[in-house]
Structure 1
Amino acid sequence: MMELDDIFRLISEAKPQPLPHPPTSKDYVDHVIDTALRGYPELAADSLLNPLLVGRIKNIVGSIVRQLNLLFERDFWLKEDMEEKAILRRAYSYSLLFEIAINFYGMEKEWVGFSDEEVNACENIIRYILNKWEEIERKRYGEPRIAKAVVMYKINDMKKVMAGDPQRTGMIYWMGENIEKKIDEKNITNSFLNVIKNEIKSNIYYIMSKEGICRFGNDYAIGLRWLRHLGYVQVSTNPQLAAIAYRDDPSLWDKLKQYFRDHPELLENIEERKDELAMTATMLALWPNMEVFRPVAYLLNFTDGMVSYQLNPNVAASYEGSLEDALKIYSKTQEYFKEYDEYLLWGWPVDVEKGRPNIVFKVAGNSPAAIDITRKLESLGIGTNNTVTYTVSQEVKLILAKMEGMAEAVKKGILTTKVYETNMGGRLDDHLREIFAAKLVRDALKNIDDKLSAIYEYAKKIGINVEDKDGIWIAPTGWGWDKVAKTLDEKIELICSRQYLKRLNDENFAEFLAKYSGESKENVLKYLEEWEKIIGMAGTLVAQRVWWIFFSKENKDKWLGYLISKYNLSPEKAKEILNNIDVLPASKRKPLDTYLTLARNNMTNTEFPNHQLNVLMFSRKPGFELKRYDNAITIKHDPKIIEKLLTIEDFRKAYELTPELADILKKVGVSIEGFGTNGLKYEEWGSFGSTVKTMNGFTEAYNKFREKVFKIAMEVKGKK
């Protein structure tokens, strides 16, 4: 008789059986059961998220339970109950019913359109049979070992999120721990469902999603199924996040090795295939994300459910290189999902196109080439998510490029998808904080003769490992790369980098400034606290301005007229384009970065796991009222904040327009009085501080990940 740990290991290490193509399913019940018992319970449950099953789902769930229960009981009576195949059958049966129930608890129910009455009826059936199976196990083994192992497996999946980062906790990890603590050992399956239902329904993200207050996306590559239940409809990936996914879920490396074994052609001329190998590794982490959000994409007609994929940062400024990269990935992904959709979309109408990737490509705004890349991809019906974008001028120009490309696509009869304009607000804040802090340091030291000794002492105090005061300092910047500081100015920039200064009102920083400026620490802290609040609004203000220009009540109809007139579109197609473009605030640093950018239309807030937890905890503080943040993107903030920020040149570049864009907006009828025309010019996109720092980090992360993948490929090939 297998013990609990052995059963858990069996479930964790089980390899799903290959799915036959086309499916051999005889009816919906047969399809769901066969798919689940082959090792795909999540896919089987998701195949029930079909609008055609509204009003019919109770009968289907009842039939599924009838057949699974027959198998469950049969294995006991035939004395095969502890054979590995029988254990896996029952484990997959438990898992399937859990997944069906959890889909009913989440936003999936709303997207499909199932009624409360039919969902409650299905839930009662599922809870009853789970309890019966648990009773059978208790009588047979003294405890429900298989049920418990399946619950452990699902909680363990939640606890993978940020598992490799001991300094931060992700929301899904936190939820997993919370669920684990509340499992009733005397009623494992039903208590598991009780706790999950409560966790979902009480979560602020579920509440905001259900009430239509905003859309949300995940800035992380795992834990997505749980977020989908909360209403998340998007995920962003980049080289850093792909590497983190492999770190947090080491089983991905085993999958990659197997993929290389199954595709030996990738190991030919291996030295020349490094980028292709890295692309393959990223796709293996990406495809499961797309699988999770695929039901969302189809249920919402591709107006949500998109996965953002970062193109190779080494060719980000190349039109040809980026298109080649994108088309390779898109084609391989389409090929993969044509087969996957045979199972997910079984029973859907024959006119529903299978295989279309629910992917948008991250096009970096580090050069004007992004304009042409964006326009071209959109014209092919391949959505984009512009990233490495921090400024109004970048984002406005790239949204205009999206419009032009999407207009061409709809004329070809292509259904457009949701696309995004990322506003990396937190990274703008970080950059502004760094240059502001560096200026404060220089000002404080202006009357000090031995400036280097002063910052050397401070560097040691804040944890920078410096051996030679006069030599080269090399240390992390917090942007994903190490700074090589040779000059005094470079060393000042290093001590002010976000690795060591996450907030201006840092105690050590205040002491340092007070010591050399002659001001009291109290006055210095007060000054720094004020400026921390001011700089912390920079990214939000940029997002607000971009959203207002295109999607506010004052302006959205003007852009509708623009699209109809300029591209000779019907009102319906113009609306489709306009409604499918979202501003995507990202790189959040504090809960208000989310709450102050909430909007009921044309907005998707993308969140990192630890930030999600901060947002959740903020909502549970005494006095929190969600209604205060409903459409918070329209709040008019204190003009004094903007006045002070405009004294920082790089904020002015981020916040103002260029003369060319000002002319376009005037012609459309957008009122831009007081907007200024000293915004970031096209030729400055690549040299803007936030851009340089971010691209250095992305490129470094990509190259490191590529080398790790290359080593794995060499290992599989048999080389050392």
Structure 2
Amino acid sequence: MSSDNEYSLKRGLKTMSIVSKEQVISLIKQSPVEPLVLPVPPAVDHADHMLRVALMGHTKLAADHILHPQMRDLLIDTLGGFVRRAGIIIRGEKLSGADADTLKSRIVRRARIYDTVLELIMNLVGAESRWAGFDECLVEEALNILVNALEEWENIEKTELGAPTVLLAVIDYNVQQMMKVNKGNSLVAQMAKDLANSINPSAVARSYLDAVKKVFGENVYRKVYDKGLCKFGNDYALGLRWLRHLGYVQVSTNPPLAARAYDDDQDLWNSFVDYAKNVLSKKFPEWFKDPDKYADDIAMEATRFALMDNFYVFRVPFILSRYHDGLVSYQLNPLIASDAQKSVEAARTFAQWLEEDLKVYDEYLWWGYNVPEKGRPNLVVKVAAAYPASIEIAEKLNEMGIGQNITVSYTVAQEVLVAYGAMKGMAKAIRKGVMPVQTYDTNMGGRLEDHLREEIAADLLVKGLEKLPTDKAMSILEKLAKGLNVDDATWSRLKDSGIKEIASYLCSHRVLGRDLMRKPYIEALVETGAYGSKEEVLKFLQPLETALKLSGTYVAQVVYEILFAPWNREKWIEHLMKEFGLTREQAEIILDRIDLLPASKRKPIDTLYTFASRNMTNTEFPDHQLKVVNEVLSKNIRLDDLAESIYQQLPREYLDILMKYEDFVKAYEASPEVVELLKKVGISKDYGSRGISPKDWPNYGPCVKTMNEFTKAYLTYREKVVNLIKSLSSSS
């Protein structure tokens, strides 16, 4: 590199002759972002506004600004204006020959310009351009403008530095952020690897555009979305922006997932520490005087902080779909989930706090556009259907214009009755001129499957052992424990329990796994002598395991048919019109604002068997998304063959097996309350009547297990954030 191109950055006492990507990334992380405040600083046009916002550090917000239908006729001129102004800055702020402090400032400003352009490219390649109404010709023209500009700036940087170090660093930084998702075991992380591996250091701008088109445009989920086969959501608090580019429209979160986000992203936790120290201490001084008294408030605010980027990312689909898509789920405090009044008040408070932040963000995002209701929270509150109060909570929240994610729900009764509560609330809202927000009706099929397998496996084992001498039974259990890799210390504690307790532990999904066909378990059943030879045990277990794998989907099919099948849909619309005095258009809006949400997936078929073009959103963990993609690609599955797969006829033989087990019957059949409701609606098909009634929901096995798990996780998370406040209080 010639002397004209040499430059330095002082890091402590060291002077580096060449700036590395790592140093640039460090500068990006360390550079404070200017806060968004009202009024919005004046700008003369959209391009001017975008550049100002980008240089403040809000690069993704600046890039999202183009995503509005009113931009269609302005897009080319706006991008041209942005490129012209940004180019003047880049040419005027040379990276060679500057002193250290000036150089740092220039690198950060240039990095922010680059990041905005890189995100503009992703938005145009992504599903967002469709939401904004941009046609393919317009998108290609816009992409050419951006890549031509980026290529020119890349060459300028090569002249200054010998390599496009800053541009490469910005790309690397974004890749690193996505690699954090589920500690790298995720679809987004795999996409990040693929994109990074496709960048040509000699032609960064062009190769970046090609990589984005390939990684995002050829993704299985993007193809499914473009074909209109189904909608999707993310069951995780990180990585949402890249999934939005694939067409994702929903994200499920809760305090435990917020805790995982803080664990996965140390920068996020550090940001919350600074926020607590500099903002919360002034806004809520009483929290710091008595943290234990305000423990739940602190946990709620820590969760809100962790999730804010999700709310920001989804402002575009939320506003453009008029509150139909782009929703973020927030879980109510599980300690008050059975109390309708406290739950509704907690949801109202959270929504009110959230709206204050979103008003400011929206003023920047939608500057210059006609948007009728800025700041309205793109929030759906998770309502635990483990309690009868969930029906009332769903109604009251919808009446206020707050949507729900009905959760901890496994049964036809829960999912139909709470959804009807939501319909009643929507009807009250829409008559007051309040457009309802989406409601998600979760079917936690994977957790139902886990529960059934655990109970059935333990029951089979106990029945096989109960007629044996105690020492023989314990010998079989000890052998099973070793075969399932239970350590000696755990077994030493466990062996003093009763046989039922030991069997229950060994047959839990955390020990046995999610497969009855585990060799140690099969050998244990054979050794009891109660079920015949190994061949006879295998012949018995194999169809049972297959049936269990379909259990959640069987329930999902019934719920979907009751609520959304064409032959029932018209009856619901007529009922809503008659019962609540609605117009047909209003009734159709209400029914359209409810989606079945298959969740807690355990295997790819949980997704692939539940596709529907309307009233369906599949929400998935990051690793599950990767499994689905690999399943489709490895088996050459034709996506069109998955169309409306929710209606496919699953084998009757497996349903017959499941109907022998009471807990499945409780989930699969309608309850007496559902039967009465359907009669009122005019649906005459027999869906059974042995389903679980609301009064029994709190004691239903899957509800008990999930609420215990959620409560324990919530208390652990709450303790962590309360301890932070205590430590800050004691050090102040």
- The reply to whether TM is greater than 0.5 is yes
In the alignment, structure 1 residue 228 sits paired with structure 2 residue 244: yes
Change in 2 beyond 3 A, CA 1:715/1:49? same
* Residue equivalent to 1:480: none
Instruction: After superposition, give the CA deviation of every residue in 1:179-208 in whole Å (9 maximum; x if it has no partner).
Output: 222221212232122112101111111111
In the alignment, structure 1 residue 449 sits paired with structure 2 residue 461: no
Residue correspondence of structure 1 range 560-709 to structure 2 within 5 A? 560-673=573-686, 675-709=687-721
* Residue equivalent to 2:112: 92
One-letter amino acid of the structure 1 residue matched with residue 504 of structure 2: E
* Residue equivalent to 1:500: 511
CA distance in 1, matches of 2:321, 2:103: 43
In the alignment, structure 1 residue 184 sits paired with structure 2 residue 195: no
- Residue 130 of structure 1 and its aligned partner are, at CA, apart by 1.2
CA distance in 2, matches of 1:182, 1:519: 57
* Residue equivalent to 2:3: none
Query: Any idea what SS the aligned residue of 2:131 has?
Result: helix
* Residue equivalent to 1:22: 39
Contact 2:544 2:654 in 1 (8 A): no
* Residue equivalent to 2:211: 195
One-letter amino acid of the structure 2 residue matched with residue 615 of structure 1: V
* Residue equivalent to 1:476: none
One-letter amino acid of the structure 2 residue matched with residue 593 of structure 1: D
Change in 2 beyond 3 A, CA 1:470/1:488? farther
CA distance in 2, matches of 1:692, 1:468: 24
| Paired residues, number | 703
Change in 2 beyond 3 A, CA 1:578/1:263? same
Query: Any idea what SS the aligned residue of 1:271 has?
Result: coil
Contact 2:289 2:729 in 1 (8 A): no
Query: Any idea what SS the aligned residue of 2:683 has?
Result: coil
Query: Any idea what SS the aligned residue of 1:637 has?
Result: coil
* Residue equivalent to 2:351: 330
Residue correspondence of structure 1 range 274-313 to structure 2 within 5 A? 274-313=295-334
- Residue 113 of structure 1 and its aligned partner are, at CA, apart by 0.5
In the alignment, structure 1 residue 69 sits paired with structure 2 residue 82: no
CA distance in 2, matches of 1:565, 1:77: 70
Contact 1:47 1:344 in 2 (8 A): yes
CA distance in 1, matches of 2:385, 2:248: 25
One-letter amino acid of the structure 2 residue matched with residue 672 of structure 1: K
One-letter amino acid of the structure 2 residue matched with residue 503 of structure 1: D
Change in 2 beyond 3 A, CA 1:443/1:190? same
CA distance in 2, matches of 1:416, 1:343: 25
Query: Any idea what SS the aligned residue of 1:162 has?
Result: helix
Give 1:510's match in structure 2, choosing from 508, 512, 522: 522
* Residue equivalent to 1:36: 54
* Residue equivalent to 1:343: 364
One-letter amino acid of the structure 1 residue matched with residue 210 of structure 2: N
- Residue 427 of structure 1 and its aligned partner are, at CA, apart by 0.2
Give 2:232's match in structure 1, choosing from 197, 210, 216: 216
Change in 2 beyond 3 A, CA 1:676/1:94? same
CA distance in 1, matches of 2:474, 2:694: 37
Structure 2's unaligned 5+ residue stretches are: 1-7, 9-18
- Residue 623 of structure 1 and its aligned partner are, at CA, apart by 3.6
* Residue equivalent to 1:267: 288
CA distance in 2, matches of 1:469, 1:703: 27
Contact 2:68 2:132 in 1 (8 A): yes
In the alignment, structure 1 residue 464 sits paired with structure 2 residue 480: no
Structure 1's unaligned 5+ residue stretches are: 474-484
Change in 2 beyond 3 A, CA 1:719/1:78? closer
In the alignment, structure 1 residue 416 sits paired with structure 2 residue 427: no
Query: Any idea what SS the aligned residue of 2:425 has?
Result: helix
Moved more, 384-393 or 675-684: 675-684
Residue correspondence of structure 1 range 511-550 to structure 2 within 5 A? 511-517=523-529, 519-550=532-563
Contact 2:332 2:383 in 1 (8 A): yes
One-letter amino acid of the structure 1 residue matched with residue 310 of structure 2: N
CA distance in 1, matches of 2:217, 2:533: 50
CA distance in 1, matches of 2:159, 2:535: 69
CA distance in 2, matches of 1:576, 1:402: 13
Contact 1:425 1:585 in 2 (8 A): yes
* Residue equivalent to 1:320: 341
Contact 2:37 2:360 in 1 (8 A): no
* Residue equivalent to 2:5: none
Contact 2:426 2:590 in 1 (8 A): yes
Query: Any idea what SS the aligned residue of 2:619 has?
Result: strand
CA distance in 2, matches of 1:567, 1:340: 36
One-letter amino acid of the structure 1 residue matched with residue 34 of structure 2: Q
Query: Any idea what SS the aligned residue of 2:597 has?
Result: strand
One-letter amino acid of the structure 1 residue matched with residue 469 of structure 2: D
CA distance in 2, matches of 1:207, 1:44: 27
CA distance in 2, matches of 1:236, 1:427: 16
* Residue equivalent to 1:248: 264
Contact 2:95 2:106 in 1 (8 A): no
* Residue equivalent to 2:223: 207
One-letter amino acid of the structure 2 residue matched with residue 495 of structure 1: L
Query: Any idea what SS the aligned residue of 1:555 has?
Result: helix
CA distance in 2, matches of 1:333, 1:240: 19
CA distance in 1, matches of 2:255, 2:35: 30
* Residue equivalent to 1:12: 29
Contact 1:55 1:118 in 2 (8 A): no
Query: Any idea what SS the aligned residue of 1:685 has?
Result: helix
CA distance in 2, matches of 1:446, 1:270: 51
- Residue 134 of structure 1 and its aligned partner are, at CA, apart by 1.3
- Residue 138 of structure 1 and its aligned partner are, at CA, apart by 1.5
Contact 2:410 2:702 in 1 (8 A): yes
CA distance in 1, matches of 2:95, 2:700: 71
CA distance in 2, matches of 1:308, 1:685: 22
Query: Any idea what SS the aligned residue of 1:508 has?
Result: helix
* Residue equivalent to 2:392: 372
One-letter amino acid of the structure 1 residue matched with residue 475 of structure 2: S
Query: Any idea what SS the aligned residue of 2:314 has?
Result: helix
Moved more, 333-342 or 506-515: 506-515
- Residue 465 of structure 1 and its aligned partner are, at CA, apart by 3.2
CA distance in 2, matches of 1:104, 1:625: 27
In the alignment, structure 1 residue 713 sits paired with structure 2 residue 695: no
Contact 2:670 2:691 in 1 (8 A): yes
Instruction: After superposition, give the CA deviation of every residue in 1:501-533 in whole Å (9 maximum; x if it has no partner).
Output: 211112222222223336443443343232111
Instruction: After superposition, give the CA deviation of every residue in 1:256-290 in whole Å (9 maximum; x if it has no partner).
Output: 12222212123232221111111111000111101
CA distance in 2, matches of 1:228, 1:456: 49
Change in 2 beyond 3 A, CA 1:464/1:719? farther
TM-score by length of 1: 0.95
Moved more, 453-462 or 268-277: 453-462
CA distance in 2, matches of 1:413, 1:496: 53
CA distance in 2, matches of 1:591, 1:521: 29
Query: Any idea what SS the aligned residue of 2:181 has?
Result: coil
CA distance in 2, matches of 1:521, 1:60: 72
TM-score by length of 2: 0.94
Contact 2:178 2:239 in 1 (8 A): yes
Instruction: After superposition, give the CA deviation of every residue in 1:289-323 in whole Å (9 maximum; x if it has no partner).
Output: 01011100011111111000000011111112212
CA distance in 2, matches of 1:194, 1:123: 11
CA distance in 1, matches of 2:490, 2:144: 70
Give 1:55's match in structure 2, choosing from 64, 73, 78: 73
